[in-house]
Amino acid sequence: MKANMVQALNNALALELESNPNLVVLGEDVGIDGGVFRVTDGLQTKFGKNRVIDTPLAESAIIGTSIGMAAFGLNPVAEVQFSGFLYPGFDQLISHAARIRNRSRGRFSCPLTVRSPYGGGIKAPEHHSESMEALFIHTPGLKVVVPSNPTDAKGLLTSAMRDPDPVVFFEPLRVYRAFREEVPDEQYTIPLGQAKVTQQGNDLTLISWGSMFRTSMEAVQQIAENEKYSIEMIDLRTLSPIDWPTIHSSIQKTGRCVVVQEAPLTLGLASEIMARVMEKNFLHLKAPVQRVTGFDTIMPLYKLENYYLPNAERVKEAIRKAMAF
Amino acid sequence: MKANMVQALNNALALELESNPNLVVLGEDVGIDGGVFRVTDGLQTKFGKNRVIDTPLAESAIIGTSIGMAAFGLNPVAEVQFSGFLYPGFDQLISHAARIRNRSRGRFSCPLTVRSPYGGGIKAPEHHSESMEALFIHTPGLKVVVPSNPTDAKGLLTSAMRDPDPVVFFEPLRVYRAFREEVPDEQYTIPLGQAKVTQQGNDLTLISWGSMFRTSMEAVQQIAENEKYSIEMIDLRTLSPIDWPTIHSSIQKTGRCVVVQEAPLTLGLASEIMARVMEKNFLHLKAPVQRVTGFDTIMPLYKLENYYLPNAERVKEAIRKAMAF
Amino acid sequence: MPLTKIADFGVSRLSILDENGKADEKLLPKLTNPQFLDLFTWMTLLRIFDDKALKLQRQGRIGTYASSLGQEACTVGSAFALKPQDWTFPTFREHGMFFVRGTPIVKVLQYWGGDERGSQSTSDVNCFPVSIPVGSQPLHAVGCAMAMQLKKKDAIAVGYFGDGGTSEGDTLEAMNFAGVFQAPVILICQNNQYAISEPRSLQTRAQTIAQKAIAFGFEGIQVDGNDVLAVYKATLDAAEKARAGKGPTLLEFFTYRMGDHTTADDSTRYRTKEELEMWRKKDPILRLRMYLMAQGILFPQMEEKIIAECVALVEKGVSDYENMPAPQPSDMFDYLYKEMPPALAEQKRNFLSFLSTQKNNAQPNKTEGPGFP
Amino acid sequence: MPLTKIADFGVSRLSILDENGKADEKLLPKLTNPQFLDLFTWMTLLRIFDDKALKLQRQGRIGTYASSLGQEACTVGSAFALKPQDWTFPTFREHGMFFVRGTPIVKVLQYWGGDERGSQSTSDVNCFPVSIPVGSQPLHAVGCAMAMQLKKKDAIAVGYFGDGGTSEGDTLEAMNFAGVFQAPVILICQNNQYAISEPRSLQTRAQTIAQKAIAFGFEGIQVDGNDVLAVYKATLDAAEKARAGKGPTLLEFFTYRMGDHTTADDSTRYRTKEELEMWRKKDPILRLRMYLMAQGILFPQMEEKIIAECVALVEKGVSDYENMPAPQPSDMFDYLYKEMPPALAEQKRNFLSFLSTQKNNAQPNKTEGPGFP
Ligand SMILES: Cc1ncc(C[n+]2csc(CCOP(=O)(O)OP(=O)(O)O)c2C)c(N)n1
Ligand SMILES: Cc1ncc(C[n+]2csc(CCOP(=O)(O)OP(=O)(O)O)c2C)c(N)n1
Ligand SMILES: [Mg+2]
Ligand SMILES: [Mg+2]
């Protein structure tokens, strides 16, 4: 089928609701409204109010009750309406979802997926556009996934829903309806923890995820017109756990690296990539790893958001800097 | 006076309550009980229930009402009983304390200090021992401070209480009563954002903060017995904003660096230090920066906590590795 | 001592003007004729503004917008009962409150136009800025009220939230703190029957929102939220009580959101025409209009004049908004801290110098359309 | 339609055994003599355990410990009313519940001895593990109850919390979800009058905790928490109601924490001897003992035997605990994910190989003494 990311996610949910009787979808407006971005459109009509549950407006309770459900035989897929609204549920995620397996020495577990639209670029009001994935990557016990296209979105969400541990699944808002592509009709999974090398290259490794993958692609296409760099592109897809072997072996080949993230600079995921690259590939590095990031400031209201977000120009500048070093 | 860190902090609070009529202390058990670690001991008796306020057991409300107070002329100093209990108040910190100045284009501000005991090493039960400072360092709009000794604790807390912006002030549990030292009687401040070079050296820069500063000291003392490395020690003290010039100029001199943190490895502050060092001092580096950290796992209950915490042996190993590279 | 009743509670509802504009004379608040007309004028202005804002959004001149159509009495009546020194803490549906308290229309448009300067408001208007996380705002009102109490100021605080907002732990914690500290605060729930698509019945099993105050040991009252006189009186009474040191009040304004949740919403997905029609009859402006006409306070010519003035004010606001110079990229950095940390200043410098190398400082990203639920 | 009463609510208190051990016969639950004796035995065991645990803590053989002295009726009576398939969600003061439901003493000691394996409990005992963040646990109970409901299981969930816990937003959100989904759950507040140093009056202005249920549209009852028969009956009734699909109940067990908050606390700082003396007279064990003696169900010789058996059980638990091999450093890594991610496996490998270079795998840090509030 031809599908944008919203449709691909909807399809993944529908197929999994069909095949796993223990799967329940819950959240604010996920029922008759189909979610404010329509990712759960039509699911309640098809699967009923016991499977697709409109909850009161309380993120901590959505995640907290999901933990209870997950420990007792269900596979909850909780929607948090924007990633900025994960914070009220932060304690439940950190102190419980991420810990119950460890706390109970494996007796209980939390096969929970928390879906949340994230990132900027759609003129949303405040608290709807930031990219705070680092908070969850830093938290032991969680997994974190960010797809960059409809096909990956479907396969990764299916894996997340089947994962025995809690997964925070971020859906880049800017990609939701940005394009459609051919997505397989049947159910399939894309394993968590595996990055995708979407383009081979020898001069430089370009790492990104989510909407920044598209921005990076744009930069690479533009730069290819004049400069003849051979760039290896990695779409990280899973941010926790990270596919380090793919990153390291690429850098061992290229010796140069640029990381692009929408998140603030300080302690965004790029920092960890730079740290590990230094640890493992110090002698392979021909230039310091460059990063293109949001700023250490609040994601602005929409009149300025396109200044905040990394764009192809900034990525190209970083590539040139790495190449020129 | 001779004081341990608890006493030095108590003294800082008492002096500031005395000199600033707008300062209020609030939190769970801060009143007659003097706080569960006695940091606020005696303050309610001396300054009354309007200045030292026992609140209901609700961290989000403690921080949320503090924001209201701070915007309207008070300087609240909120105590959160252990840093693991900051999570229920996370949304108020991230979405409001850190943002109100920016959101209102400077019309409102949040001169709030959130004090919280943090870190391991005192056999506390779960959720009482982790070191999650990275979450707050990553959040734009907050400042983060961790003192390593009574004298700094007093001066830094006084600065934090006078800072026009929200400060998360972490008090390393393990240092609270670990030792006493001569602390000046009078009020004084130590500026936020300034690291302290506690020992000059030429071979290696050793960066740490809080209780890990003492662990690092121990390692340096032990290693000095046989190996004649000249180690420059930096006690970071403020983790946001960081004193980059001090770090960079030290590394430009030494070319080698070890960072020691109690926090989990992935996206702990060491990652950011490594990233910036790579960006600014790539050509000065004689070896990859080494880090000694907690693990990417939950801080264990107390029978295993000393395995989790970095110790002098692990720090020495990292120093040797950096020197041997 | 077997099963013994140990406590009793009740919840009341205040209503003054009925749907036909007939007033309960005993409860009628003491207002002068100009004041009655003010209430009418503010509600009219708000409705005209709302209508205009929806058009601006459709034309792409502002972003996602949250209309308060049908709820005019709630924000206008409550703000009208306050003193200038009082402080109000809005969510995102209290434009009426902003106007009544003196905020220029241009500021409200700026906010919805994605320009941070709209949130600065004006320094003589005692409103906290709009913020979006549902349920998080009432705590600020309670904190402000505690500050007023501690500093012995003759000011109270008012925190607004929606029916959906009552499900958030923060709102409930705010009620609890208000009760414990007997803070001079009014907690106002605009119960407009919906939180986006979810009807009130999905938020809570309680029959009323007002009864939530019982859990925290203070008074809660349900008020006909489409009756501006009841809203005004309930707020005034609660404000007097707070000012007298007698603690907080929870006011449930029972009303209805006549429009979509925001311009990003389509309410036909989840509610019926019949329901809308039923509520249309309870229109708060119509109701006051009937009363004022019957009393001879308002008459058609005067109404026309009021409407024309309101239209002109709104048009002025729109042109002020559109003539406003664009916000500067450097604004992103300048208001985070009182003193900018050096490393942030470096980020700013680098970015501005990068921008200066770009054609016309262009923002090369395309933004892909509004999406605010 | 002026100010109209639109809703009425009441709160009741259940009490069966008075302070002199006299029972209200009409309310007396139907229990066999062995069951009466079981209640007595469990409470006795719990008290002996508590006493022992305090000693172990002082000797440094376990860490900080939270005693439940004085609250024995609450956890024993409520757990006794449940079926094995039901699920319980404790805070950190429900040792009695763990024992009654079948948890070996050694497990409870392991937890307080800083050994994660204590939280694993045993696989046939339906208890969630202890966890410390106040107020965060009731949501798990509600989620479990929703799962039971959706999966049409004949099981209910019970969530415990303290009077302090009622101030946390999470507890209140749990109540709200319980009401909205009519979840088969019992929310039990052990109102022991203190949250560390803060008396109940600082937590909430509400006269009772029970009335908090009114905010969420279901029933709340206050129960004499030092009366094990009232606790048992209230729990049994609420459980039957939940099982019948009639929704949640909030039970406020009105009791008193006779000991310090934990071994890290000194309660003489904040409360009077007189208060303690007053509550000592309401001792839950004494009260049941008087009743059972008067009924001829218990007599001195039998009591001695029960005590001796409890002492032996506790001693056995202690020796099991002390003979338990130490947890392994590798345990830190092994239970985080079902499948260990490669980078974590690398951390583990590196650490274990580092340890193997150390003398006797020593933990070279000193731990600087307990500090659990
Ligand atoms: C914490 C949080 N969760 C979710 C949202 C998304 N959201 C915006 S408005 C809204 C509904 C609010 O309903 P209500 O409180 O009744 O206010 P109303 O919109 O009816 O004025 C939701 C779910 C949000 N802004 N904040
Ligand atoms: C979220 C959170 N904040 C603070 C604490 C520290 N703390 C541990 S127990 C306690 C008091 C709890 O009081 P209550 O709920 O009445 O239970 P009790 O101890 O009386 O059984 C506090 C403040 C905590 N564990 N969790
Ligand atoms: Mg609403
Ligand atoms: Mg208590």
In order along its 373 residues, chain D shows pLDDT tens digits of 458 999 999 999 999 999 999 999 999 999 999 999 999 999 999 999 999 999 999 999 999 999 999 999 999 999 999 999 999 999 999 999 999 999 999 999 999 999 999 998 778 899 999 999 999 999 999 999 999 999 999 999 999 999 999 999 999 999 999 999 999 999 999 999 999 999 999 999 999 999 999 999 999 999 999 999 999 999 999 999 999 999 999 999 999 999 999 999 999 999 999 999 999 999 999 999 999 999 999 999 999 999 999 999 999 999 999 999 999 999 999 999 999 999 999 999 999 999 999 875 555 555 555 555 5
Instruction: Report yes or no on D316 lying in a domain.
Output: yes
**Cα separation, B72 vs C87, whole angstroms:** 10
CA-closest candidate to residue C270, choices A275, B2, A54: A54
Residues of chain A with confidence (pLDDT) below 50 = none
Q: Which chains touch C (3 or more CB pairs under 8 A)?
A: A, B, D
Write down the pLDDT at residue C123. 80
| B-interface mutation test, from C86, C124, C146, C187, most B Cβ less than 10 A away | C146
* CATH number (domain holding residue C186): 3.40.50.970
- What is the C-alpha to C-alpha distance for residues A249 and A246, in angstroms, rounded to an integer? 5
Q: What pLDDT is stored for residue C289 in this prediction?
A: 98
CA atoms of C172 and C215, how far apart (whole Å): 9
In this structure, the answer to whether residues D147 and D261 fall within a common structural domain is yes
Q: Are residues C313 and C354 in the same domain?
A: no
The answer to whether the CB atoms of B91 and C142 lie below 8 A apart is: no
Q: Is C132 in the pocket of ligand 1 (CB under 6 A)?
A: yes
Q: Where are the alpha helices (DSSP H) in A36-170?
A: 43-47, 59-71, 90-91, 100-103, 133-137, 150-162
pLDDT at C363: 57
Position in ligand 2 atom list of the atom nearest CA D163: 16
Element (DSSP H or E) covering residue B145: strand B143-145
Whether residue A85 has its Cβ less than 6 Å from ligand 1? yes
Q: Do D315 and D335 belong to one domain?
A: no
Average pLDDT, chain B: 97
Chain B to chain C Cβ contacts (< 8 Å): 139
How distant is the Cα of B302 from the closest Cα of chain D, in angstroms? 5
Q: Is residue C264 part of a domain?
A: yes
Peptide bond into B241 cis (omega under 30): yes
In a domain, C366, yes or no: no
**Which positions in chain D touch A143 (Cβ < 8 Å)?**
337
* DSSP assignments along B24-46, one per residue: EEEETT-STT--TTSTTTTHHHH
Is A196-324 assigned to CATH 3.30.1330.10?
no
Are D340 and B296 in contact by the 8 Å Cβ rule? The answer is: no
Same domain for C286 and C348: no
Strand C198-199 to C219-224 pairing? unpaired
CA distances C36 to B1, C49, C301, D177, Å, are: 67, 20, 16, 43
Cα D98 from Cα C134, distance rounded (Å): 38
Chain B residues with CB under 8 Å of D369 CB are 122-123
Q: Which residues are B197's β-sheet partners?
A: B234
Q: How far is the CA of B193 from the centre of ligand 2 (A)?
A: 34
Same domain, C218 and C338: no
Protein residue with least CA distance to atom 19, ligand 1: C195
Helices within chain B (DSSP H only): 5-19, 43-47, 59-71, 90-91, 100-103, 133-137, 150-162, 173-176, 211-226, 244-254, 269-281, 302-308, 312-324
Contact B95 C131 (CB under 8 A): yes
B252 vs chain D: nearest CA distance in angstroms? 30
ipTM above 0.85, yes or no: yes
C167 CA to centre of ligand 1 in angstroms: 10
Domain match, D110 and D211 both: yes
Instruction: For residue D265, give the ligand nearest its CA.
Output: 2
The string of pLDDT tens digits covering residues C64-92 is 999 999 999 999 999 999 999 999 999 99
Q: How many whole angstroms separate alpha carbon C243 and alpha carbon C239?
A: 6
Catalytic residue among A96, A127, A128, A284: A128
pLDDT above 90: residue C182: yes
Judge: C169–B24 Cβ closer than 8 Å, yes or no: no
Nearest atom in ligand 1 to A85's CA: 1
- Residues of chain B below pLDDT 70: none
Inform me whether the C-beta atom of residue D170 falls under 8 Å from chain B C-beta atoms: yes
Q: Which ligand is nearest to the CA of D161?
A: 2
Radius of gyration of chain C, Cα coordinates, nearest whole angstrom: 22
Range of the domain at C355: 331-360
Interface size, chain C vs chain D, as Cβ–Cβ contacts under 8 Å: 156
Q: In the prediction, which pLDDT does D1 show? A: 40
pTM value is: 0.98
pLDDT recorded at residue C369: 55
* Domain boundaries for CATH 3.40.50.920 within chain A: 196-324
Q: Quick one: C88 and C62 in the same domain?
A: yes
Position A170, amino acid: F
Residues D226 and D346 in one domain: no
Query: Are D260 and D340 within one domain?
Result: no
> CA C285 to CA C291: how far, in whole Å?
10
Give the per-residue pLDDT at D206: 98
CB contact under 8 A, D136 and A64: yes
The residues, ordered by sequence, that sit 6+ positions from C197 with a Cβ below 8 Å of its Cβ are A29, A31, A32, A33, A54, C261, C265, C267, C269, C270
Q: Is D373 in the pocket of ligand 2 (CB under 6 A)?
A: yes
**Are residue C275 and residue C338 in the same domain, yes or no?**
no
Among chain A residues, the shortest Cα distance to C268 is held by: A33
User: How many domains in chain D?
Assistant: 2
| Same domain, yes or no: C306 and C341 | no
Rounded to whole angstroms, the Cα distance separating A118 from A130 reads 7
D212 CA from centroid of ligand 1 (Å): 24
Cβ separation D116–A106 shorter than 8 A: no
Q: Give CA–CA dist A37/A22, Å, rounded.
A: 24
Q: Start-end ranges of CATH 3.40.50.970 in chain A?
A: 2-182
D341 and D234 inside one domain: no
* Residue C362 pLDDT > 90: no
Contacts D62 to B, Cβ<8 Å: none
| Residue D6 falls inside a structural domain | no
C-alpha of residue C373 to centroid of ligand 1, in Å? 8
Residue whose tokens read 């994962």? A163
Give the active site residues of B: 128
Cβ–Cβ contact D337 with B under 8 A: no
Ligand 2 pocket: which of B29, B57, B90 to mutate (most atoms <8 Å of CB)? B57
Q: Which CATH class is domain A2-182?
A: alpha beta
| CA dist A229 → A201, A225, B58, B217, C329 (Å) | 8, 10, 56, 48, 31
- Cross-chain CB nearest to D147 (options A58, A69, A95): A69
Ligand 4 centroid from CA D318, angstroms? 27
Pairing status of strand A2-3 against strand D4-14: unpaired
Active site residue C140: no
Contact between residue C16 and residue C27 where contact means Cβ atoms under 8 Å apart: yes
Query: How large is the C-alpha radius of gyration of chain D?
Result: 22
User: Could you give the CA distance from residue C52 to residue B75 in angstroms, rounded to a whole number?
Assistant: 42
For ligand 2, whether the C-beta of B87 sits within 6 Å is: no
Residue in this structure with the two tokens 């249309």, named with its chain if needed:
C280
Residue A126 pLDDT:
83
Q: Are B249 and B197 in contact (CB under 8 A)?
A: no
| Cβ neighbours around A47 below 10 Å, total | 18
Counting ligand 2 atoms within 8 A of each CB, the residue from D91, D196, D256, D270 with the most, and so the one to mutate, is D196
Q: Is D132's C-beta closer than 6 angstroms to any atom of ligand 2?
A: yes
- Cross-chain Cβ contact B307/D363 below 8 Å: yes
pLDDT digits (tens, 9 = 90+) for C311-332: 999 999 999 999 999 999 999 9
Is there a contact between C180 and D172 if contact means CB atoms under 8 Å apart? no
